C-alpha cells in the first residue's frame, strides 16, 4: 500500500467513519458514547519513568493519537499536532480507600467528554494506590481508535517499556502508513472502478432491506439514547459447541456462520419478521501495512438474513454463508458510505441501518484482548464498571481455548431490563442447541422455548379453573337475588327507584306477555328504548322469556337501526312512542300497540311493539310470578353489533354460558352488594356487565342520565350523591374524572372498585393522585372484546407511586385460556410479540348470519382436547413478560410502516395524552396519497388550556424519535365517539387539502432566506414553507453546510440538532426568529397557528 504521493501533512480530510462521529458530536455535543476506556492494574516495582517514556513513544509513533478535528468553512479536517502523550500521575496513597478512589476516577474518566476540536483525543493517567500498586487508565475517542488499535498499542507499549526499563530505546521507525494517509486513500478510492462495483453491490443488496429491527422493549425508545448499557456472560453447553463444529464440518461453513444464523433466527421469532439486518464488525485493515496502525479502521458489515420460505436450518446457514462471503468480498466500502447511499429517514433514537450487532471471536490468545505483558510485574485488566453501546443489543460469542463457547450480551439499558436480556440469552442458547441437534428441521419448527418455558406459558395462559354456576341462565341467578334481598333497592334512575321485588315483578309481567307473543329460545328481540328503568325491565323480561335481545340505540341514525333490525332477523322490536318511528320509518300512534318495521328488501316486516302507557296497563294484568325457565346455558342471550371492516356492522352472538362464566368471576373478584354506576348505552356488551355487576350480589344500579354522561362535573356530583362504590368506565372518562377530582376530591370518597375498559388504560398524575386519596380503592384494567367478554384482568393496588404509566393486560380470568401465537399458530417465546387468541368458556357463538367471518375469526383450537373447541382471533398484538403478565402492543391492523419504520400509533397517542395541555389524543395514518403516507395527530385541549400544533410537536420531541412525530397536528374541540365511548377514528376529519402541487410560498423574510439556502445546498430551484429538508433529499452531511450558510447569512449560530427538530422551512424560520429574539434582535416572522409537515 506504499503511496508515492504521500506528503508530510498537517491537515487531512476525515475518513468516512470519522466524519460520522464528528457530525454526531456536533449534533449531540458532550456525549461520551464513543469513549473507549481500558485500564490495567499493575502490581510490583513499576518503573514509572520508563512507562511514561513508553507512552510518549507510542503516541509519537501514531499521528492519529495526536489528532484533533477542526472545521474550515463548514468542512471538518483532521489536524495533526506536535507533542502529546504525557502520562498524568495521580497519587492516591493517602486516600481512605485507594482502590475505591481509583474506581471512582476510572468511572469519571469514562464520563468525561472529549473536545474534538481542542484535543487531545487520547488520555492516559497513572494512579498510584501504593508504592507497588498502580492503575494505568487510558481513554480514547473512537474517532482515533478501535478494537484492533488496542492490540497494537499494548504490543508497542509492552515492547517500549521493556526497552526503557532496561536502559535501551525501542526502534525509532514509524509505521509505514499513518491514519491520515488511509483517510486520503479512502476518498481517492471511492471513485475507482473496483470501489464503484462494490458500492453498486451494497446499493442493490440493501435497496429494499428493512432498516430497523425492533425487538420487544421493556421501555419506550427515547428520542435520544443515553448509550448506557448492561452486560453479562452466559454459558453455551459443550455438547452444543461440539454440535456447531460438527455442522461446520458437514456443511463447509464456519462457526461464525452457524452462530449468526441462529442469532438471526432468534431475532426473527422475537421481532416477527423474516427479513432482517444484523451488523458485524470487521477490523478493516485489508492491507498488511495497516495491521500495525492505530486508528478507526474498523468497519461494520450489514448482513442481510433471509428467512423467507421456511428453510431448514441447514439451508439458512447456507444462505448466511453466501451472504457473508459476498459481504467480505466487498468490505472495503465504509459502512458510513453505505448509510449515505441508503439515505434512511433521520432518526436520532437508534443506530442507522443496523441496530443489532453480532461477533464471534477466539479467546485462545491474550493478545486479541490487548493484554500488557510487563516484565517482573503482575498485570490484570482494571475495568471502570461503565459500559456503553450504540446498539440495541450486541451478542458476542467466544470460542474458548478448551473448545467450548461462551456468550456475552451487551444491551441498551434505555430499552431493556437485565432479566429480559438474561432470558434472551437463555433463548439463544436453547435455539442453537435445538438447531445443531436437528439441522434439517424447518425453522418454523425450531422454537427458542424449552419444555420448562412451554409449561410456564401454558400455566400463565390458563385462568383459574372454577365450577360453573348453579344457575342455567342469567335471569335465573337474578331471581335468586330477588329471593335473598326482595326489599333492597335494585335500580335508581332519576327520581325513580325499584326494589328487587318490584323489578322482578315488572319484568315477569312483560316476560309473560312476550311469551304470549311468541318469544322463546333463540328468538331475537330488538330493544329501542331510552335509558331508564323501563329499558332495564325490558331487557330482563326478554331474558326471562328465553329470548335474546339486540340493543338499538335511539341516538343512532334510523337507517342503521333499520339495518340492525333486518340483519338480526328480529322477530319483534320493543319501542316507546318516542322511538317507534326510528325503526318503523313513520309514527306509531298512542295505544297502537303493534306496528311494523320496513324491510329494506321488501320482505316480511318485523313486528314493532310500542310500549306506550296503554300497553303497560295491559301488561300489568299478567302474573308477577317468575315464568318457567325456557332457555338453557347454550341458548342465545344477546346479539350486539360492532363495526365491520367492510363497513357492514356484524352481530356477535353471545350465549348464557359465556356471560354466566364472567359473572361468576365477578362474584369472586369484586366486593358484594355494590352501588354501581350504569354509564354505558345499551349498545355495547359492557352495558350488561354494569347491570349484572350490581344485580349479581344484591347491589344497586345507579343509572346515569343521558345529559350527564358527557358532563364530568355533573357526573362527579352524581357519584357523590348516590355514594357509588363501583364503576366500569371508558379510560378517557376516568382520566377526566381524575382531573376533576383535583378540585373536588370529596365527590369520589365512596369509590372502591373502579375498572376501565375499551381503550388501553393510561395512568397519569391526576389518576395517581385521585386513587392515592382512596386507600380502599383498586383500579382494574379489563381487557377483552365483544366476542369474548372480559378476557384478562390487571389490578392496581396501593401505593399508587408504583403504578405504571400504562397498565398491562394482566392475567386470564376464570375458565379462559389465552395464547400468544405466531402466524403459524405456534406459541411465541416469552418476550416476543404475537397475536392474542382466546379460548374457553367466555367466547361467543360467532357472527349472526356471517359463516365466513365466523370461520375466519373463530378457529379450531390446536391445543384443545379434540372436542370441537375453538379459539377467537382477537387481532391484538401482545407479549408475555418474564413475570407472567400479558402486555398489550396494539392492533395488528393499526400498525403502520412509514419510511421503513414500523410504528404503533398507540405509543404516540400515549405520549400525546401525557402532555399537560392535552385532554385526549388519537393518531391515524393518512394514506390518501399512497406513495407518501403520513401520521396525523388529533388532540383536544384540557379545560382552560390552549394548544398550538408547534407546541405539541415541540413537547413530543422530548419523548419520541423524529420518525414517530406526527407530520400534522389537528386541534379539535371534541372527538367523535362510538356507542361504547371509544374514539370513532373513521369520523376524524382529514386536513384541508394543500394547493394542487403542494407548494406554499415562504411567508416571511426569514422563511425566504432559509428556502434560498436550502435551494443552494440541495440544488433545487423552488422550495416552499412546508417542504421538509430531509424529504427533499437532504442528509446529515448537508446539514453542516446549511448551518454554516445560516451563520454567514443571518448571523445566527444554530446547533445541528435544530434542523433535525425543525425540518420544514416554516419551523426552522420560527426557531431562528426565536433565537434572534432571545438575543434582543428584531424577529422577522412569528409562529403560525398551524404548520403542516409533509
Q: What is the CATH number of the domain that holds 393?
A: 3.30.559.30
Percent of the chain with pLDDT over 70: 92
Same domain, 1024 and 920: no
Higher-confidence residue of 8 and 455: namely 455
Task: Assess whether pLDDT exceeds 80 at residue 1057.
Answer: no
Task: Assess whether pLDDT exceeds 90 at residue 858.
Answer: yes
CATH of the domain at 30: 3.30.559.10
Q: Find how far residue 4's CA is from the centre of its chain.
A: 55
Number of independent structural domains in the chain: 4
Higher-confidence residue of 364 and 977: namely 977
Long-range contacts of 908-912 (CB under 8 A, 24+ apart): 908/935, 908/937, 908/956, 908/960, 908/964, 908/966, 910/760, 910/762, 910/805, 910/806, 911/220, 911/956, 911/959, 911/960, 912/937, 912/939, 912/952, 912/956
Contact 476, 507 (CB under 8 A): no
1093 pLDDT tier (thresholds 50, 70, 90):
very low
Same domain, 349 and 411: yes
Q: Would you state the pLDDT for residue 1? A: 44
The mean pLDDT of 428-442, rounded to a whole number, is: 96
**Neighbouring-strand partners of residue 376:** none
Axis crossing angle, helix 255-271 with helix 313-328, rounded to the nearest 10: 110
Same domain, 982 and 1012: no
Q: Residue 176 falls within a domain, yes or no?
A: yes
CATH of the domain at 1073: 1.10.1200.10
Task: Categorise residue 75: left if φ over 0, alpha if ψ from -120 to 50, beta otherwise.
Answer: beta
- Is the backbone peptide bond immediately before 799 cis, with ω within 30 degrees of 0? yes
Same domain, 143 and 269: no
List pLDDT tens digits, range 957-985: 777 777 678 878 889 988 887 766 678 88
Same domain, 236 and 314: yes
One-character DSSP codes across 419-432: HHHHHHHHHHHHHH
Q: Would you state the pLDDT for residue 601? A: 52
Same domain, 286 and 432: yes
Task: Assess whether pLDDT exceeds 90 at residue 661.
Answer: yes
Domain extent, residue 201, equals 197-378+385-449
Q: Which range scores top for mean pLDDT: 201-215, 624-638, 967-981?
A: 624-638
The span from the CA of 570 to the CA of 563, in Å, is 11
- Is the backbone peptide bond immediately before 11 cis, with ω within 30 degrees of 0? no
Q: Would you state the pLDDT for residue 899? A: 58
The mean pLDDT of 632-651, rounded to a whole number, is: 85
Give the end of a domain, one of 421, 449, 477: 449
List pLDDT tens digits, range 36-72: 999 999 999 999 999 999 999 999 999 999 999 998 8
Same domain, 229 and 176: no
931 pLDDT tier (thresholds 50, 70, 90):
low
Same domain, 929 and 1043: no
Give the end of a domain, one of 967, 991, 1015: 991
Task: Assess whether pLDDT exceeds 90 at residue 594.
Answer: no
Higher-confidence residue of 403 and 3: namely 403
Q: Residue 408 falls within a domain, yes or no?
A: yes
Using alpha carbons, select from 581, 583, 543 the residue that is nearest to residue 564: 583
The span from the CA of 960 to the CA of 462, in Å, is 36
Task: Assess whether pLDDT exceeds 80 at residue 2.
Answer: no
Mean confidence (pLDDT) of the chain: 89
Q: Residue 443 falls within a domain, yes or no?
A: yes
pTM for the model: 0.79
CATH of the domain at 904: 3.30.300.30
Q: Find how far residue 259's CA is from the centre of its chain.
A: 28
Name residue, grid cell 448482513. 303
List pLDDT tens digits, range 365-418: 333 456 899 999 999 999 888 899 999 999 999 998 888 999 999 999 999 999
The mean pLDDT of 98-106, rounded to a whole number, is: 95
602 pLDDT tier (thresholds 50, 70, 90):
very low
Q: Would you state the pLDDT for residue 240? A: 95
Q: Would you state the pLDDT for residue 523? A: 96
934 pLDDT tier (thresholds 50, 70, 90):
confident
855 pLDDT tier (thresholds 50, 70, 90):
very high
Q: Residue 821 falls within a domain, yes or no?
A: no
User: Which letter does DSSP use for residue 743 in this model?
Assistant: T
Task: Assess whether pLDDT exceeds 50 at residue 509.
Answer: yes
The mean pLDDT of 293-306, rounded to a whole number, is: 96
Q: Would you state the pLDDT for residue 1086? A: 39
Contacts of 322 (CB under 8 A, 6+ apart): none
Task: Assess whether pLDDT exceeds 70 at residue 492.
Answer: yes
The mean pLDDT of 329-344, rounded to a whole number, is: 88
Q: Would you state the pLDDT for residue 1090? A: 32
Using alpha carbons, select from 269, 448, 282, 417 the residue that is nearest to residue 357: 282
202 pLDDT tier (thresholds 50, 70, 90):
very high
585 pLDDT tier (thresholds 50, 70, 90):
low
Amino acid at each position: 500500500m506504499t503511496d508515492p504521493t504521500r506528503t508530510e501533512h498537517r491537515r487531512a480530510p476525515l475518513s468516512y467513519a470519522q466524519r460520522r462521529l464528528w457530525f454526531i458530536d456536533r449534533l449531540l455535543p458532550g456525549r461520551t458514547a464513543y469513549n473507549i476506556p481500558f485500564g490495567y492494574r499493575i502490581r510490583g516495582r513499576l518503573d514509572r519513568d520508563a512507562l511514561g517514556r513508553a507512552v510518549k513513544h507510542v503516541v509519537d509513533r501514531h499521528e492519529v493519537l495526536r489528532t484533533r478535528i477542526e472545521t474550515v468553512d463548514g468542512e471538518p479536517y483532521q489536524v495533526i499536532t506536535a507533542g502529546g502523550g504525557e502520562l498524568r500521575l495521580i497519587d492516591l496513597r493517602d486516600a481512605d480507600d485507594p482502590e475505591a478512589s481509583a474506581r471512582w476516577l476510572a468511572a469519571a474518566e469514562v464520563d468525561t467528554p472529549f473536545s474534538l476540536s481542542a484535543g487531545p483525543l487520547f488520555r492516559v493517567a497513572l494512579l498510584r494506590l501504593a508504592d507497588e500498586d498502580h492503575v494505568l487508565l487510558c481513554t480514547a475517542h473512537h474517532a482515533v481508535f478501535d478494537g484492533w488499535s488496542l492490540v497494537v498499542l499494548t504490543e508497542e507499549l509492552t515492547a517500549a517499556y521493556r526497552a526503557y526499563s532496561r536502559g535501551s530505546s525501542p526502534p525509532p521507525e514509524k509505521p509505514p502508513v499513518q491514519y491520515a494517509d488511509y483517510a486520503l486513500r479512502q476518498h481517492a478510492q471511492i471513485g475507482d472502478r473496483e470501489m464503484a462495483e462494490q458500492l453498486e453491490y451494497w446499493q442493490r443488496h440493501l435497496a429494499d432491506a428493512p432498516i430497523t429491527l425492533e425487538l420487544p422493549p421493556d421501555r419506550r425508545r427515547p428520542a435520544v439514547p443515553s448509550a448506557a448499557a448492561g452486560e453479562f456472560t452466559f454459558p453455551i453447553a459443550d455438547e452444543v459447541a461440539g454440535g456447531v463444529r460438527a455442522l461446520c464440518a458437514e456443511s463447509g461453513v464456519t462457526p461464525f456462520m452457524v452462530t449468526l444464523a441462529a442469532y438471526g433466527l432468534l431475532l426473527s421469532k422475537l421481532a416477527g419478521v423474516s427479513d432482517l439486518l444484523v451488523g458485524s464488525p470487521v477490523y478493516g485493515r485489508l492491507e498488511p501495512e495497516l495491521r500495525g496502525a492505530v486508528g478507526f479502521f474498523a468497519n461494520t458489515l450489514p448482513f442481510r438474513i433471509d428467512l423467507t420460505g421456511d428453510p431448514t436450518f441447514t439451508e439458512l446457514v447456507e444462505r448466511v454463508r453466501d451472504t457473508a462471503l459476498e459481504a467480505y468480498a466487498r468490505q472495503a466500502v465504509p459502512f458510513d458510505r453505505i448509510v449515505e447511499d441508503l439515505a434512511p429517514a433521520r432518526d436520532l433514537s437508534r443506530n442507522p441501518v443496523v441496530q443489532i450487532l453480532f461477533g464471534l471471536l477466539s479467546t485462545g490468545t491474550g493478545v486479541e484482548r490487548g493484554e500488557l505483558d510487563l516484565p517482573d510485574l503482575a498485570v490484570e485488566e482494571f475495568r471502570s464498571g461503565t459500559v456503553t453501546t450504540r446498539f440495541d443489543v450486541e451478542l458476542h460469542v467466544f470460542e474458548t481455548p478448551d473448545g467450548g463457547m461462551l456468550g456475552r450480551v451487551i444491551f441498551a439499558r434505555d430499552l431493556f431490563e437485565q432479566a429480559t436480556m438474561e432470558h434472551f440469552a437463555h433463548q439463544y442458547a436453547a435455539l442453537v442447541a435445538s438447531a445443531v441437534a436437528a439441522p434439517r428441521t424447518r425453522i418454523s419448527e425450531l422454537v427458542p422455548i424449552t419444555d420448562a418455558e412451554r409449561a410456564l406459558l401454558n400455566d400463565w395462559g390458563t385462568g383459574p379453573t372454577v365450577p360453573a354456576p348453579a344457575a342455567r341462565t342469567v335471569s335465573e341467578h337474578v331471581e335468586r337475588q330477588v329471593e335473598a334481598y326482595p326489599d333492597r333497592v335494585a335500580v335508581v334512575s332519576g327520581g325513580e327507584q325499584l326494589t328487587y321485588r318490584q323489578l322482578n315483578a315488572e319484568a315477569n309481567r312483560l316476560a309473560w306477555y312476550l311469551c304470549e307473543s311468541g318469544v322463546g329460545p333463540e328468538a331475537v328481540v330488538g330493544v329501542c328504548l331510552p335509558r331508564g328503568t323501563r329499558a332495564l325491565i325490558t331487557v330482563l323480561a326478554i331474558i326471562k322469556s328465553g329470548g335474546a335481545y339486540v340493543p338499538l340505540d335511539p341516538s343512532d341514525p334510523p337507517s342503521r337501526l333499520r339495518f340492525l333490525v333486518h340483519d338480526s332477523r328480529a322477530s319483534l322490536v320493543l319501542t316507546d312512542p318516542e322511538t317507534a318511528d326510528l325503526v318503523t320509518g313513520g309514527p306509531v300512534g298512542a295505544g297502537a300497540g303493534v306496528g311494523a318495521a320496513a324491510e329494506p328488501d321488501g320482505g316480511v316486516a318485523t313486528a314493532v311493539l310500542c310500549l306506550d302507557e296503554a300497553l303497560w296497563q295491559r301488561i300489568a294484568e299478567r302474573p308477577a310470578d317468575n315464568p318457567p325457565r325456557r332457555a338453557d346455558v347454550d341458548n342465545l342471550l344477546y346479539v350486539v353489533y360492532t363495526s365491520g371492516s367492510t363497513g357492514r356492522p356484524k352481530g356477535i352472538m353471545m350465549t348464557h354460558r359465556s356471560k354466566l362464566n364472567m359473572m361468576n368471576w365477578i362474584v369472586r373478584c369484586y366486593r358484594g352488594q355494590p352501588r354501581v354506576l350504569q354509564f354505558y348505552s345499551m349498545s355495547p356488551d359492557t352495558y350488561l356487565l354494569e347491570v349484572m355487576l350490581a344485580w349479581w350480589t344484591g347491589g344497586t344500579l345507579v343509572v346515569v342520565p343521558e345529559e350527564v354522561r358527557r358532563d364530568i362535573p355533573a357526573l362527579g356530583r352524581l357519584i357523590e350523591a348516590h355514594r357509588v362504590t363501583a364503576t366500569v368506565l371508558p379510560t378517557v372518562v376516568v382520566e377526566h374524572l381524575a382531573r376533576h377530582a383535583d378540585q373536588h376530591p370529596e365527590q369520589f370518597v365512596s369509590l372502591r372498585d373502579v375498572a376501565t375498559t375499551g381503550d388501553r388504560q393510561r395512568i397519569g398524575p391526576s389518576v395517581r393522585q385521585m386513587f392515592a386519596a382512596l386507600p380502599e380503592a383498586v383500579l382494574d384494567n379489563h381487557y377483552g372484546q365483544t366476542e369474548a367478554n372480559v378476557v384478562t384482568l390487571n389490578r392496581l393496588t396501593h401505593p399508587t407511586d408504583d403504578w405504571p404509566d400504562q397498565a398491562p393486560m394482566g392475567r386470564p380470568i376464570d375458565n379462559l385460556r389465552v395464547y400468544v401465537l405466531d402466524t403459524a399458530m405456534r406459541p411465541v417465546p416469552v418476550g416476543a410479540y404475537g397475536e392474542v387468541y382466546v379460548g374457553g368458556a367466555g367466547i361467543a357463538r360467532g357472527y349472526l348470519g356471517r359463516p365466513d367471518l365466523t370461520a375466519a375469526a373463530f378457529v379450531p383450537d390446536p391445543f384443545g382436547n379434540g372436542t370441537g373447541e375453538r379459539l377467537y382471533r382477537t387481532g391484538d398484538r401482545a407479549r408475555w413478560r418474564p413475570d407472567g403478565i400479558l402486555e398489550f402492543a396494539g392492533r395488528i391492523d393499526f400498525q403502520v410502516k412509514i419510511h421503513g419504520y414500523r410504528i404503533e400509533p398507540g405509543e404516540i397517542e400515549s405520549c400525546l395524552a401525557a402532555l399537560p395541555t392535552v385532554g385526549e389524543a388519537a393518531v391515524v395514518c393518512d394514506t390518501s396519497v399512497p406513495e407518501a403516507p403520513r401520521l396525523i395527530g388529533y388532540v383536544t385541549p384540557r379545560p382552560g388550556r390552549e394548544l398550538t400544533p408547534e407546541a405539541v410537536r415541540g413537547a413530543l420531541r422530548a419523548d419520541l424519535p423524529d420518525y414517530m412525530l406526527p407530520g400534522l397536528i389537528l386541534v379539535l374541540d371534541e372527538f367523535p365517539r362510538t356507542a361504547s365511548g371509544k374514539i370513532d377514528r373513521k369520523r376524524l376529519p382529514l386536513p384541508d387539502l394543500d394547493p394542487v402541487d403542494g407548494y406554499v410560498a415562504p411567508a416571511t423574510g426569514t422563511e425566504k432566506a432559509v428556502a434560498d439556502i436550502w435551494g443552494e445546498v440541495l440544488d433545487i430551484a423552488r422550495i416552499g414553507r412546508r417542504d421538509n429538508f430531509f424529504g427533499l433529499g437532504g442528509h446529515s452531511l448537508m446539514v453542516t453546510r446549511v448551518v454554516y450558510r445560516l451563520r454567514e447569512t443571518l448571523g445566527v449560530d444554530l446547533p445541528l440538532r435544530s434542523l433535525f427538530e425543525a425540518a420544514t422551512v416554516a419551523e426552522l424560520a420560527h426557531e431562528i426568529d426565536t433565537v434572534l429574539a432571545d438575543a434582543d434582535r428584531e424577529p422577522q416572522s412569528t409562529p403560525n397557528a398551524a404548520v403542516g409537515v409533509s
